[in-house]
Structure 1
């Protein structure tokens, strides 16, 4: 269901373990990397015969990968020219081995002299293909003045040719996905063995281009011995959803309760309920103050409504009406349109205790805290301590900032660190929404590779909460339900981009896209 997403340090440790503990030769891993780079280049660019290929090779393993690729390009009938940043005598071990092989095979290899690297690069005949083998994932800190000059020159050349980056665009921070301060802008990046964390983050997309991971022969046991703290969501998550049985009826397809809606704020609860139905829930009930019952039900014949309390607001007597019904439901969402007044805060404060009572009665109902529920949790952190460990929290960056007591800019600057900070003190499932949504519990983060601007519309988060609830209601564990919900929701955004390329879609259309996306991607 997930692919590894190591940090540069984790990847370096895997490489070292493969050589030290398994006896693999570094020369073999480098050969495999160059071979895979050729396959990716051939598929992305097309026939290579006659193509002028300029390869910029740095002083480390990334340069060694470029030497392998240059040698193999000769076999394709291409015309490779390698410009390397170290003198030949400065290369060691596997990189030197492959530099010598490339030269013996006939590849033109020339040293880029310090201080004249930019002029030498710009003096080359305009290439058809530019290969970035300068730094890869091994860089740390800001680019040196010499490296920055090279990156700028490569970007100038790259404006008129195809650009392939080996492992990671030079200048891109492998942890944060930010340029330091500039990075090569590639059309395609081939990631050896696995994408690195920084390359998979949405802010890296203008530099990475299309990210193509390719295996290079590292044993699975290497990863199992030192698993990464981040993984990437994949389409395999749809395997959690089994094909519907012929005898399935609505009572066995999951019953979702949405607790939300208040005066003037009923649309959020309606969207959440609609999404739960479109994601396959057999039954959906919206629980709301009795005074807004008609407004919640209006125009939605497919949902049931449960009037709570006696007025227009969420008051403690709403809880008295709710507790006897909790055994009916397979999943609960609380928060969409709940409101931010004191009455809603008082109601939410009673909610964990109500769930404790339901557990005592044998009703283990998973719950999602969304929207206004998260606002009240931030205002009253004591409630957080009472939440069950399998609760799912779905904050957007602003809500995450309130929960952590920090600025939204700080959250967005390093979303992974913000998520880890929250998870270090909270055992629940966190879903940090936004481009590159993060789902986490404990030490492990799950990153969505999907960036879909069509999801940037009011009500999109309510739809996501409904999707996750429908999956929970099928009996999927909360962490996996959140991961699948995020991935499915993201694919809906991509699908809507086909119809609405300039955006303009509604949140209801995200919900209506759910079964169509499932048809295209689910194994059933």
Structure 2
């Protein structure tokens, strides 16, 4: 079961549905604050007599901080609660906790734009051992106002000498995208409630979240089932999708992958793709290429077969007459690595995609370039998988790569809507999405994979899993996880990068080693 990654709006629906079920919102806030207390005690130990500064924002995130202040007070900590609006102005469950704080006489002070500078100075002089960020949480969107920007900068200064704990999300960090705007609290740890929000699970959010603790607050599973999250987290359980080898298997039992690519100056890409397919478990791998390039591709690669097409070294639509009668002999196609950007390559791709009854196919690299040049996106086969990196995704969407990276979940949703196909958006925090399915996020950050040819290996690995009978959605999730795991394996020997794509392919079997397997698909 993959961990759920709701958006902030989906989490709000869970809260609302739980309350409608009869769970009082005060109970949910009490549970959240107690979980935060447990995490904090685990991080710093005994809090008796130690100074804790809690910053409470105007909403329920502030309410969580106020409730936590009460628990800390009861544990003997020297609490100072800094709130951005009068305690009497808090409403609902936050107001309930504010009234309790006042009755207990907790040390509290109102922080405004006028007095922030002097308050910040006094906080720095008091040198608290813990600073709790309960300012905005997952409700933050847009850009920080000058007041909250100054508060964030104050917290980060205090964090040089104190542990910073963020409640639900560091202030200034988008729980949708994992990006700060323009900056965010840099927490040592974040307690997020019930489920990690999709932005917090992105690897590039880690410098702001610190250690991410996901803690339950009592949302029943029936509520989550009735209001499904739109994303989930890939984890080691993904390896359960690995096809199980048969004791009577032979090379034909594990699929034959055909890679269509290669052009002058780009003969290495399809070879790396074929290596990825073989290391991913395919029984056979063939590169289909212009006949004039077949010897270049074959040289030094005894494990890879070639299918020479036509005459000369340039792709053209005439190759289809030779290819299509035999394409049914293959179990998966990978199209695009090194295909080139000649008009002949474009015409070949158009003709191929117009053909009927193609096996499952992966569209990568130059195939994606040519798709982006079409005024009207062609109708892709249902068994097609697109594997763009951010620049390729941008071309398909008419955006630049920076815009794609600014909101990767939104970008992959737009890709699926535009193409109607399954998509893998590569990069740190690779995303997998398909029509009618939740987005799946790979949280692994593996710098070893940042090398030319890495994506070719991934495309071949995906082709191998398709050739072995996995559905597109299962194959894509498993391929992404194995590719990332191979990167982590390589980091042991290449701690500062320096590996090659060939070594990424060679590491794939290690990523599968001694892992649970699923029964082999027979249909």
Shift of 1:180: 3.2
**Residues matched between the structures, number:** 514
SS at match of 2:128: coil
**Residue matched to 1:11:** 11
Kindly provide the CA deviation profile for residues 79-133 of structure 1, in whole angstroms up to 9, marking residues without a partner as x: 44333333332223322333455566x6843123422234224313212222111
Q: Is the 8 A contact 2:444 2:484 kept in 1?
A: yes
Asked whether 1:33 is paired with 2:32, we answer: yes
Q: 1:112: which partner in 2?
A: 110
**1:452 and 1:420 mapped to 2: Cα distance?**
24
**Structure 2 equivalent of residue 395 of structure 1:** 388
* Residue pairs, 1:476-495, within 5 angstroms: 476-495=470-489
CA–CA distance in 2 between the matches of 1:353 and 1:59?
57
Please identify, of 153-162 and 497-506, the stretch whose mean Cα deviation from structure 2 is larger. 497-506
Matching residue of 2:505: 511
Kept in 2, the 8 Å contact 1:271–1:463? The answer is yes
- Consecutive unaligned residues of structure 2, counting only runs of 5 or more, are 519-523
Residue 41 of structure 1: CA displacement? 2.9
- Deviations 1:136-189 (CA, angstroms, capped at 9, x unpaired): 112343333332222211111012222111100112233333333332111211
Cα deviation code 1:468-511 (max 9, x no counterpart)? 11111222111221122122212222332332222211111211
Name the SS of the counterpart of 2:171 in structure 1: coil
CA distance in 1, matches of 2:78, 2:250: 65
- Give me the whole-angstrom Cα distance separating, in 2, the residues matched to 1:48 and 1:304: 67
- TM-score (norm: length of structure 1): 0.91
Counterpart in 1 of 2:231? Answer: 230
In 1, the alpha carbon distance for the partners of 2:453 and 2:45 equals 43
Cα distance, 1:217–1:305 mapped onto 2, change above 3 Å: same
| Alignment match, 2:416 | 423
Q: CA deviation at 1:402?
A: 1.9
Rounded to whole Å, the distance in 2 between the matches of 1:254 and 1:456 is: 29
Structure 1: distance between partners of 2:47 and 2:238: 37
Paired position in structure 2 for 1:445: 439
Whether 2:163 is the aligned partner of 1:170: answer no
Q: Give the superposition deviation at 1:392.
A: 0.5
Contact 1:70-1:107 within 8 A present in 2 as well: no
Correspondence 1:214-229 to 2 at 5 A: 214-229=215-230
Alpha-carbon separation, structure 2, partners of 1:83 and 1:432: 42
| CA distance in 2 between partners of 1:492 and 1:419 (Å) | 24
Return the alpha-carbon distance in structure 1 between the equivalents of residues 105 and 331 of structure 2: 65
Cα separation, partners in 2 of 1:186 and 1:99, compared to 1, 3 Å: same
Q: 1:519 to 1:292 in 2, by over 3 A?
A: same
Across the aligned residues of Structure 1 and Structure 2, the Cα RMSD in angstroms comes to: 2.5
Q: Give the drift of 1:394.
A: 0.9
Structure 1 CA distance for aligned equivalents of residues 86 and 379 of structure 2? 63
Residues 446 and 353 (structure 1 numbering): CA distance in 2 closer, same or farther, change over 3 Å?
same
1:288-341 superposed Cα distances (whole Å, 9 cap, x missing partner): 222222221222222222222232222334222222322222211011111111
2:457 corresponds to which residue?
463
The equivalent residue for 2:121 is 122
Q: Is the 8 Å Cα contact of residues 170 and 190 (structure 2) preserved in structure 1?
A: yes
* Inter-partner Cα distance in structure 1 for 2:249 and 2:111: 72
- Match of 2:197? 196
Q: How far does residue 202 in structure 1 lie from its aligned partner after superposition?
A: 4.5
Shift of 1:77: 5.7
Partner residue, 1:501 = 495
After superposition, the Cα gap between the structure-2 partners of 1:120 and 1:484, relative to the gap in structure 1 and judged at 3 Å, is same
Deviations 1:367-422 (A, max 9, x none): 0011111112222355x424202200111122222222333333233333332233
CA 1:63/1:308 → structure 2, altered by over 3 Å: closer, same or farther?
same
What does residue 83 of structure 1 align with?
82
Deviations 1:45-103 (A, max 9, x none): 45656643322222322122223333444566654433333333222332233345556
User: Structure 1 residue 235: deviation in Å?
Assistant: 2.5
Query: Aligned partners of 2:477 and 2:500: how far apart in 1?
Result: 23
Maintained 8 Å contact 1:309/1:319:
no
Alignment of 1:119-518 (within 5 A): 119-124=118-123, 125-354=126-355, 356=356, 359=357, 365-381=359-375, 384-442=377-435, 444-518=438-512
CA distance in 1, matches of 2:488, 2:364: 23
Structure 2 CA distance for aligned equivalents of residues 33 and 520 of structure 1: 38
SS at match of 2:54: strand
**Which segment drifts farther, 202-211 or 294-303?**
202-211
Contact 1:118–1:150 (Cα < 8 Å) also in 2: no
- Evaluate the alpha carbon distance shift between residue 42 and residue 319 of structure 1 in structure 2; reply closer, same or farther with a 3 A threshold: farther
> Per the alignment, in what secondary structure is the counterpart of residue 200 of structure 1?
coil
Shift of 1:195: 1.8
Relative to 1, partners in 2 of residues 1:101 and 1:516: Cα closer, same or farther, differing over 3 Å?
A: farther
8 Å CA contact 1:404–1:422 kept in 2: the answer is yes
1:521: Cα distance to partner?
5.4
TM-score normalised to structure 2 length: 0.91
**Could you give the per-residue CA deviations for residues 230-285 of structure 1, whole angstroms, max 9, x where no partner exists?**
33323322221144333333221222111112233211111111111112212212
Q: Deviations for 1:180-212, whole angstroms, at most 9, x for unmatched residues?
A: 333211121121111223323344332222323
- Is the contact made by 2:88 and 2:99 (CA closer than 8 Å) also made in structure 1? no
Q: Distance in 1 between matches of 2:117 and 2:132?
A: 16
SS at match of 1:490: helix
Structure 1 contact 238–521 (Cα < 8 Å) conserved: yes
